[in-house]
Amino acid sequence: MTRKVKKLWIVLAAAAGIPLTMWLCWYLSPKTKMVAAIIDKTVLTSAGQEHISFLWILNHEKLTKTASKFYKIDHDYFGFFPMEGEKFRLKGLERFNNDQLQQLSEDINLVYFTDTYGIYRNEWYTQKNNNERSGMVYGGMSSQDIELLKQMKQKKKLIITEFNSIGSPTSQETRKQFEDMFAMHWTGWTGRFFESLDTTRNKELPRWLINNYKRANNNNWPFKKSGIALVSDQDRVIILEDGRDLKDPMPHIISGEYGQKVLGLPEEIKYAFWFDVIQPNRAINTQVASFRMDVNQKGQVLLKANGLSAVFPAVLMHKKTDYRFYYFSGDFCDNPVSLSSSYFKGIGAFKWLFYDTSNPMERSSFFWNFYRPMMTNILDQEREYNKK
CB atoms within 10 A of CB 311: 12
- Which residues neighbour 48 within 8 Å (Cβ) at sequence distance 6 or greater? 40, 55, 73, 74, 77
* pLDDT confidence of residue 14: 59
Determine what percent of the chain is predicted with pLDDT higher than 70: 94
Q: How far is CA 261 from the centre of its chain?
A: 22
- 18-28 and 3-15 helices, crossing angle to 10°: 70
* pLDDT confidence of residue 81: 96
Lowest mean per-residue pLDDT among 73-87, 159-173, 215-229, 344-358: 344-358
Cβ(185)–Cβ(285) under 8 Å?
A: no
Whether 155 shows a pLDDT value over 60: the answer reads yes
Listed in order, strand segments (DSSP E) in 163-281 are: 184-194, 227-232, 237-241, 246-255, 268-270, 275-280
- Which residues neighbour 193 within 8 Å (Cβ) at sequence distance 6 or greater? 226, 227, 228, 249, 250, 251, 271, 272, 273
The mean pLDDT value for 150-169 works out to 96
Cβ(23)–Cβ(95) under 8 Å?
A: no
| CA 51 – CA 103 distance, rounded (Å) | 24
| CA 275 – CA 253 distance, rounded (Å) | 11
pLDDT, tens digit, 9 for 90 and up, residues 31-78: 999 999 999 999 999 999 999 999 999 999 999 999 999 999 999 999
* pLDDT confidence of residue 346: 93
Which domains occur in the chain, in start order?
20-387 (3.40.50.880)
**Exposed, middle or buried by CB within 10 Å (0-12, 13-18, 19+), for 41?**
buried
* pLDDT confidence of residue 109: 97
| CA 253 – CA 234 distance, rounded (Å) | 26
HSE-CB at 316 with a 13 A cutoff on CA atoms is 27
* pLDDT confidence of residue 74: 95
| CA 247 – CA 245 distance, rounded (Å) | 7
Amino acid identity, position 184 = M
Residue 278 phi/psi, 5-degree rounding, is -110, 145
Cβ(256)–Cβ(289) under 8 Å?
A: yes
pLDDT band at 385 (very low <50, low <70, confident <90, very high): confident
Amino acid identity, position 325 = F
Q: Please give the model's pTM, rounded to 2 decimal places.
A: 0.93
CB atoms within 10 A of CB 316: 25
pLDDT band at 148 (very low <50, low <70, confident <90, very high): very high
- 52-60 and 372-387 helices, crossing angle to 10°: 50
pLDDT, tens digit, 9 for 90 and up, residues 17-42: 778 888 889 999 999 999 999 999 99
* pLDDT confidence of residue 128: 47
The mean pLDDT value for 324-339 works out to 95
* pLDDT confidence of residue 201: 93
The mean pLDDT value for 81-93 works out to 92
pLDDT band at 121 (very low <50, low <70, confident <90, very high): confident
- Name the average pLDDT for the chain: 92
| CA 275 – CA 88 distance, rounded (Å) | 28
* pLDDT confidence of residue 5: 43
Regarding predicted confidence, which is higher, 97 or 10? Answer: 97
The mean pLDDT value for 306-324 works out to 96
* pLDDT confidence of residue 240: 98
